[in-house]
A and B are shown apart, each in its own frame.
Chain A
Amino acid sequence: MKKIRNFCVIAHIDHGKSTLSDRLLERTQTISQRDMKNQALDDMDIERERGITIKSHAIQMYYKHTDGETYTYNLIDTPGHVDFSYEVSRSIAACEGALLLVDASQGVQAQTISNLYLAIEHDLEIIPILNKVDMESAMVEEMSDQIIDLIGCDKEDIILASGKTGIGIEDILSAIVDRIPAPKGDPKEPLQALIFDSMFNSFRGVIAYFRIINGVINKGDDIRFVNTGKVYSADEIGILQLNQVPKNRLEAGNVGYVITGIKESKEIKVGDTITQDKNPCQSAIQGFEEVKPMVFAGIYPIDNDDFEDLRDSLEKLQLNDASLVFEPETSIALGFGFRCGFLGMLHLEIIQERLSREFDQEVITTVPNVSYNAYTKRDEHLIINTPADLPEPTLLDRVEEPYIKAQIITKPEYIGAIMTLCMEKRGELLNQTYLTTERVELSFDLPLAEIVFDFYDRLKSITRGYASFDYAPTDYRASDLVKLDIKLNGDSVDALSSLVHRTKADSFGRQICKRLKELLPRQQFMIAIQAAIGAKIIARETISALRKDVTAKCYGGDITRKRKLLEKQKKGKKKMRQIGTVQVPQKAFLEVLKLGDNG
């Protein structure tokens, strides 16, 4: 156990985590250059394209230190987006150390800080690394000061590195032995292993990744998952190199995988503890939480006939993404579909994209909302995941909405713009800390619903990208919410309904009408777009009737070309949904929320 080191990498998107990880794998000869598709750890297409790691992975490598000994390194990769902070916390809990990777041109970002705090909370040894020092824009002195301020280390502790050129890689590898403590834990104790991730393999079922705190696990053991209480046989255990390497026995301190024949990933919960069924541990490892969806939206097939296919696809997605939840719902406008719960907006977009890429399912996503607590006058407590479920105002006593604490790190020159944005979003400034003269951290108390509605895009645009953002849920508070309905030619479109704060209903209604006017194509008749609260119309726009849509001439030489043109037009219509008499393009349901800078 003394020769094992378990560590993760804390970094902001684009700060070079994947490239640096690749260099470590290369230098330890875990992976040959030839085998390496760039960034070996990100193996989903979407991850590669977005340049972020959505699901964490782990990999084992062997390092021959200058002391002559060979050490086992377990690098536990962490996801890099706010939506996945619980998974990050479980990965951190499986490590004794963390490489804090900071881009030498860009400095510390909000995401990095919140993960760093998590690591410090878990007593991880931090190895600070300034990455991309070879770039012309690198500001080594300034960024070093920033890191020193942040973690209170000495300047000599900071390793200067470049994943691209390989500078500092050797220093990092030996610092891992020298600075990160070996795992503590006792192989003689009853088994206690922390599940920090799982993945789905269509041939082998669900594979759980774990870190053994105490005890041993043998192939064929009956193992129990403490929080779910279920017992399975450990059909295969092993370590994770570029491929899985089966072993007969793994001991305390090590990281590995187990295959039990479980077919659905919801049976394996990240953060759960694995123990021996015959000789169980006294207590579960702390920190387990049921992952709770934060954002809800309806997902509907474009064609109602595809409802069952959509169900199949969602079920398959859920096999390897246990954080996706869904249940059937009906919309008057859209027919049969599913109300789905997501960890956040990125998660929603990823699911939508995976449905399209992996299952060829084009879907309509309705206006997303958060989960509300409603209390009726008869003191019933209802959880509202869709605006349609909100009781009539006469029956309603109060509604509570979820709040978050948001951390934004930016340059001082953008403070004003961010304050304006957050106040408009009903936020309160809690704290303002200068990390350096050029970098300030703002914390806000904000309703979660407000960051669902185009917060992140606008934050990026008002700061020209110089802001990073992280959030954590805090509590539920009573709020004056109203249900805003959108009507097309008098028909309410339930899929466009939303719950909004009363003070913002008018402007929100006006803008949603305006946006719809841009998004809906003209049709053979006039279209009235209205926003209403109950019976009261608060905003209205009209789209004039399509007057002219014909070419004057159609003779022998025009027919083929014209037919093809109309066939293309027809394909465009296929991506639309008929609501009452009005054709609504698929993208309108989500695009309608992108209200622009006046939102």
Chain B
Amino acid sequence: MAGIYIHVPFCRQACHYCSFHFSTSLRLKEEMMSAMLIEMQQVENKPSMIDTIYFGGGTPSILSIEEIKLLMDQIYRHYEVSGDVEVTLEANPEDLSEDYVKGLRDLGVNRLSIGIQSFLEDDLQYMNRAHSAEQSLQAIEYALSGGIRDVSLDLMFGLIGSDQSAWRASLEQIIDLSPTHISCYNLTVEEQTAFAHWREKGQLQEVDENIQYEQYLMTHELLSSAGYDHYEISNYAKPGHRSRHNQSYWNSQPYIGIGPSAHSFNGERRSWNVANNAKYLKQIKEGQERESELLSPSDRYNEYIMLGLRTAKGIAKSQIDEFPKKMRESFDAVSARLLGQGVLKSSGDTIYLSPEQWYISDAISAELFWDAD
């Protein structure tokens, strides 16, 4: 089983927090379409079965139904696609209309992930989103009533405009809307974003870490008691509605990335396209090699730890046993200490972090990491 990720590298405007690859100039859109179609066909060693398809970005909903159809058709032409394939498309509220949703549904899109981010006008402006809160509500209604099986809504917390009671109200509102899936992202100031630039100049207002942590806990509590399963640090799903595609990243399953900046993984090697539209077009035109790295046992071990500790699934001791002895021994020693300190938890074959501790999972991963030098 494998996934296909299609990166649509265009946005109408740049959100101040976003570090993913995109361009706000649509000049190269036509050319980009054909390059991605070519790349889909050119992929070597195609996997035997495609289980998930994911349109991410950028803003995939910037594409017309016809353009999305071209991409879908090309996938079906060149790949074996599973009968119950999960097809996700990320959409911005301002792009969704009744017709557009219907068009997507007819193309086989059965999961719509909508970037709501906030129900508050001030927050949206602060983040430089291209839609209003009202547009969001309208878009959600189109999606929920449009016959799409799964609707996922994205929200962000740790924003300067939302205090505890405002965040609680947002959570209650989203619970009322009852989508099958919710992603709640704590604002992370990424490099090369407007927020990072402001922070450097000392102009970024930031929410106290303790308040952000409380918001994180509040999210966990409210969504859990509303029947959502907290299965990854930022992701919640009603039973049976987890994102299969995203889970494949965390389970180190193979995936194919199409489009600029997209990453592929074949179980041994990870490769990626250049994160620049013009360079990507040249790369495809000239048949240039992608950049890649062969994952050493230590790389795979470290990724297994890092990804496992972000999810409810945790780390399986039986999986650790598959790694070289020195890593196993190091894992045993460090995990024993962290278990003793009550940081890690253990149940049967599984060693995991409780959702409260996911909030510091990077620090804990680094402790368990194997240092190859």
B142 within 8 A of A: no
Q: Are A556 and B306 in contact (CB under 8 A)?
A: no
Given A553-B188, A557-B272: A548 touches B262 (CB 8 Å cut-off):
no
A249 within 8 A of B: no
CB 8 Å contact bits of B187-216 with A (1 = contact, 0 = none): 110000000000000000000011011000
Q: Are B371 and A524 in contact (CB under 8 A)?
A: no
Q: Are A547 and B371 in contact (CB under 8 A)?
A: no
Q: Are B366 and A569 in contact (CB under 8 A)?
A: yes
B360 within 8 A of A: yes
Of B270, B293, B365, which is within 8 A of A566 by CB? B365
A559 within 8 A of B: yes
Q: How far, in whole Å, are A552 and B362 apart by their CA atoms in the complex?
A: 11
Least distance between A11 CB and chain B CB atoms (Å) = 44
Residues in A with CB closer than 8 Å to B185 are: 552-553
A571 within 8 A of B: yes
Residues in A with CB closer than 8 Å to B246 are: 555
The majority secondary structure among interface residues of chain A is loop
Least distance between A476 CB and chain B CB atoms (Å) = 46
Least distance between A581 CB and chain B CB atoms (Å) = 6
A554 within 8 A of B: yes
Q: Are A547 and B209 in contact (CB under 8 A)?
A: yes
Least distance between B249 CB and chain A CB atoms (Å) = 5
How many chain B residues sit at the interface, stated as a range, is 35 or more
Q: Are B263 and A549 in contact (CB under 8 A)?
A: no
Given A547-B210, A560-B270, A570-B371: A524 touches B363 (CB 8 Å cut-off):
yes
Residues in A with CB closer than 8 Å to B299 are: 563
Least distance between B183 CB and chain A CB atoms (Å) = 9
Q: Are A559 and B270 in contact (CB under 8 A)?
A: yes
Given A548-B212, A550-B233, A566-B362: A556 touches B371 (CB 8 Å cut-off):
no
Q: How far, in whole Å, are A569 and B359 apart by their CA atoms in the complex?
A: 17
Interface residues of A in 550-590 (CB under 8 A from B): 550-557, 559-560, 562-563, 566-567, 569-571, 573-574, 581
Residues in A with CB closer than 8 Å to B80 are: none
Given A546-B360, A570-B371: A557 touches B262 (CB 8 Å cut-off):
yes
Q: How far, in whole Å, are A562 and B362 apart by their CA atoms in the complex?
A: 9
Least distance between B235 CB and chain A CB atoms (Å) = 10
**Interface residues in A, total, Cβ within 8 A:** 27
Least distance between A222 CB and chain B CB atoms (Å) = 53
Q: How far, in whole Å, are A523 and B212 apart by their CA atoms in the complex?
A: 18
CB 8 Å contact bits of B330-373 with A (1 = contact, 0 = none): 00000000000101000000000000011111111111010101
Q: Are B358 and A550 in contact (CB under 8 A)?
A: yes
Residues in B with CB closer than 8 Å to A525 are: 341
Q: How far, in whole Å, are A574 and B373 apart by their CA atoms in the complex?
A: 11
Given A554-B307, A559-B249, A563-B303: A548 touches B366 (CB 8 Å cut-off):
no
Given A547-B210, A549-B362, A557-B263: A573 touches B367 (CB 8 Å cut-off):
yes
Residues in B with CB closer than 8 Å to A552 are: 185-188, 233-234
Residues in A with CB closer than 8 Å to B249 are: 554-556, 559
Residues in B with CB closer than 8 Å to A550 are: 233, 310, 358-362
Of A560, A563, A574, A581, which is within 8 A of B371 by CB? A574
Residues in B with CB closer than 8 Å to A546 are: 360, 363
Residues in A with CB closer than 8 Å to B250 are: 554
B277 within 8 A of A: no
Interface residues of A in 249-274 (CB under 8 A from B): none
CB 8 Å contact bits of A531-558 with B (1 = contact, 0 = none): 0000000000000001111111111110
Residues in A with CB closer than 8 Å to B255 are: 556
Residues in B with CB closer than 8 Å to A553 are: 185, 188, 234
Least distance between A548 CB and chain B CB atoms (Å) = 5
Q: Are A547 and B365 in contact (CB under 8 A)?
A: no
Q: How far, in whole Å, are A574 and B369 apart by their CA atoms in the complex?
A: 11
Residues in B with CB closer than 8 Å to A571 are: 371, 373
CB 8 Å contact bits of B248-261 with A (1 = contact, 0 = none): 01100001010001
Least distance between B207 CB and chain A CB atoms (Å) = 10
Residues in A with CB closer than 8 Å to B364 are: 524
Least distance between A528 CB and chain B CB atoms (Å) = 16
**Chain A: CB-nearest residue to B293:** A560
Q: Are B306 and A548 in contact (CB under 8 A)?
A: no
Q: Are B369 and A547 in contact (CB under 8 A)?
A: no
Residues in B with CB closer than 8 Å to A563 are: 299, 302-303, 306
Q: Are A567 and B369 in contact (CB under 8 A)?
A: yes
B265 within 8 A of A: yes
Q: How far, in whole Å, are A539 and B213 apart by their CA atoms in the complex?
A: 30
Q: Are A559 and B307 in contact (CB under 8 A)?
A: yes
Q: Are A566 and B366 in contact (CB under 8 A)?
A: yes
B119 within 8 A of A: no
B5 within 8 A of A: yes
Residues in B with CB closer than 8 Å to A569 are: 362-363, 366
Q: Are B360 and A548 in contact (CB under 8 A)?
A: yes
Q: How far, in whole Å, are A376 and B340 apart by their CA atoms in the complex?
A: 43
**Chain A: CB-nearest residue to B373:** A571
Q: How far, in whole Å, are A539 and B250 apart by their CA atoms in the complex?
A: 47
Residues in A with CB closer than 8 Å to B366 are: 566-567, 569-570, 573
Q: How far, in whole Å, are A569 and B246 apart by their CA atoms in the complex?
A: 26
Interface residues of B in 1-35 (CB under 8 A from A): 5, 7, 20
Q: Are B303 and A551 in contact (CB under 8 A)?
A: no
Residues in A with CB closer than 8 Å to B362 are: 549-551, 566, 569
Q: How far, in whole Å, are A551 and B358 apart by their CA atoms in the complex?
A: 10
Q: Are A554 and B371 in contact (CB under 8 A)?
A: no
Q: How far, in whole Å, are A475 and B197 apart by their CA atoms in the complex?
A: 60
Residues in B with CB closer than 8 Å to A560 are: 263, 270, 272, 293
Q: Are A566 and B359 in contact (CB under 8 A)?
A: no
Q: Are B213 and A547 in contact (CB under 8 A)?
A: yes
Of A548, A554, A555, A566, which is within 8 A of B213 by CB? A548
**Chain A: CB-nearest residue to B209:** A547
Interface residues of A in 511-540 (CB under 8 A from B): 523-525
Least distance between A317 CB and chain B CB atoms (Å) = 25
Q: Are A549 and B363 in contact (CB under 8 A)?
A: yes
Q: Are B188 and A556 in contact (CB under 8 A)?
A: no
Residues in A with CB closer than 8 Å to B187 are: 552
Q: How far, in whole Å, are A552 and B215 apart by their CA atoms in the complex?
A: 13
Given A557-B272, A574-B371: A548 touches B186 (CB 8 Å cut-off):
yes
Q: Are A566 and B302 in contact (CB under 8 A)?
A: yes
Interface residues of B in 131-161 (CB under 8 A from A): none
Residues in B with CB closer than 8 Å to A554 are: 249-250, 306-307, 310
Q: How far, in whole Å, are A554 and B261 apart by their CA atoms in the complex?
A: 15
CB 8 Å contact bits of A428-469 with B (1 = contact, 0 = none): 000000000000000000000000000000000000000000
Q: How far, in whole Å, are A145 and B186 apart by their CA atoms in the complex?
A: 72
Q: Are B303 and A559 in contact (CB under 8 A)?
A: yes
Of A547, A562, A570, A574, which is within 8 A of B359 by CB? A547
Q: How far, in whole Å, are A552 and B157 apart by their CA atoms in the complex?
A: 10
Least distance between A520 CB and chain B CB atoms (Å) = 14
Q: How far, in whole Å, are A393 and B210 apart by their CA atoms in the complex?
A: 45
Q: Are B306 and A562 in contact (CB under 8 A)?
A: yes
Given A550-B233, A550-B361: A557 touches B261 (CB 8 Å cut-off):
yes
Given A547-B213, A550-B358, A550-B359: A556 touches B263 (CB 8 Å cut-off):
yes
Residues in B with CB closer than 8 Å to A559 are: 249, 263, 270, 303, 306-307
- Given A569-B362, A571-B371, 12 other A-B residues pairs in contact with their CB atoms under 8 A: A524-B343, A524-B360, A547-B213, A550-B310, A550-B359, A552-B187, A556-B249, A557-B261, A557-B262, A559-B306, A560-B263, A567-B366
Query: What are 29 A-B contacts defined by CB distance under 8 Å?
Result: A524-B360, A548-B186, A548-B209, A548-B213, A548-B360, A549-B359, A550-B233, A550-B310, A550-B360, A552-B185, A552-B187, A552-B233, A553-B185, A554-B249, A554-B306, A554-B307, A555-B246, A557-B7, A557-B262, A557-B263, A559-B249, A559-B307, A560-B263, A560-B270, A563-B299, A566-B365, A566-B369, A573-B366, A574-B371
Which residue numbers of B lie inside 8 Å of A, CB to CB?
A: 5, 7, 20, 56, 185-188, 209-210, 212-213, 233-234, 246, 249-250, 255, 257, 261-263, 265, 270, 272, 293, 299, 302-303, 306-307, 310, 341, 343, 357-367, 369, 371, 373
